Amino acid sequence: MAGTSQRGSGSRLTWVLVAAILVAGAVAVFGGTAPEDEGAALIHVEIGGEALWHIGSFEVTNSMVGAVLASAILLAGAWYITRRSALVPHRLQSLLELPVEWVAGIVQGSSSRWGGYVALVIGLFLTILVCNWIGLLPGVGTIGLTHTVEGHEVLVPLVRPAAADLNFTLGLAIITFVVFVWWGVRINGPGGYLKELVGEPRYMAPLMFPIHLISELSRLVSLSMRLFGNVFAGEVLLATMLALTTSALVVLPLAFVIPGVFLGLELLFGFVQAMVFALLTMTYITLAIGEHHGDAHAAEHTDGDNEHPSIERDSGSASAPA
């Protein structure tokens, strides 16, 4: 029995080796790189946005085009919702309202002052989500202008997902940073905020102040770098998979399967990253307010005349948050 099994595994190994040799041969014959292509990169990766046009000294980059496109999509959606909204929402209205309601529901539980920052959190979530998903549309990254860089012709895509540019993510992170510092100053006063940075006891201030400062600044850097890193890595991954699966005739059938799998994953990652950025903004502001969830719940139930408007559940509508 043992001998039969060994013979069986040996013949299987032979077939695997024969198949591997055949595939390698096919790749060598059909998929070999032409001599004139030697030295040319399989994909062109640019870490920053690439200039498309110049208006004076001002560069219009493809990530700007991506951001403007995302803004236009959001504005069109907002215009549609505000102009054609019905008390009983139809399908498209429900679809457009769904993410807004979902994020508003999450922010509502964060603190009693949620009305003051719910618009920012929803705005960040929707902006980043649309920016990320724009990168998955056909034509984005493949349609562009041809520029010559170091003797090679390089395609500069017309649209690049805005979050794949550190300028965009850093801008969003600075907005978040300013808002949560402002909330901290507003709630505790400038003196109270500084006292928090200095910490207790006072004689530890020379040690604790720089530590607190680094800890605060790390939020700004981590917010921007995480979003940029994830979206940029996703773009590179998609470009690599497309380039690899279309680089040779023998692997061409895989081009119909493998990039699709990664596109699906990027759909999920784009959503997760938008959610993480928005939720961290909410968490930082809640921490700056210095109120805990239990307090928020108590405040909602005891203080009927909350200075911030709350959701009117009975009527099914709400006033605009401050």
Partner 1 sequence: MAVTGMDPDGDGDRDSRGVPSEARRPANWGIAFDLGIRLGVSVVLGLGGGLLLDSWLRTSPIFTLIGMALGIGAAMYTIWDVARDAMRR
- Applying CB under 8 A, which residues contact partner 1? 85, 97, 100-101, 104-110, 207, 210-212, 214-215, 217-219, 221-223, 225-226, 275-276, 279-280, 282-283, 287, 292-294, 296-298, 301, 311, 313, 316-318, 320-321
CA angle 150, 151, 152 (to 5 degrees): 95
* CB neighbour list of residue 319: distance below 8 Å, 6 or more residues apart: 309, 312
Q: Judged by CB, which is closer to partner 1: 63, or 112? A: 112
* CB neighbour list of residue 94: distance below 8 Å, 6 or more residues apart: none
Q: Judged by CB, which is closer to partner 1: 6, or 218? A: 218
Minimum CB separation from partner 1 for residue 191, in Å? 21
Q: Judged by CB, which is closer to partner 1: 69, or 117? A: 117
Pairing of strands 311-312, 51-55: unpaired
User: Both tokens of residue 226?
Assistant: 């995480």
Q: Judged by CB, which is closer to partner 1: 120, or 242? A: 120
Alpha-carbon distance of 247 to 287, in angstroms, equals 51
Question: Nearest Cα to 289, choosing from 115, 44, 35?
Answer: 115
Minimum CB separation from partner 1 for residue 154, in Å? 32
Q: Judged by CB, which is closer to partner 1: 158, or 181? A: 181
Minimum CB separation from partner 1 for residue 21, in Å? 45
8-state DSSP, 312: E
Minimum CB separation from partner 1 for residue 262, in Å? 21
Question: Nearest Cα to 224, choosing from 183, 160, 163?
Answer: 163
> From the CA atom positions of the chain, what is the Rg in Å?
27
Minimum CB separation from partner 1 for residue 197, in Å? 12
8-state DSSP, 4: H
Q: Judged by CB, which is closer to partner 1: 140, or 296? A: 296
Minimum CB separation from partner 1 for residue 314, in Å? 9
Token pair 């560069």 is found at 59
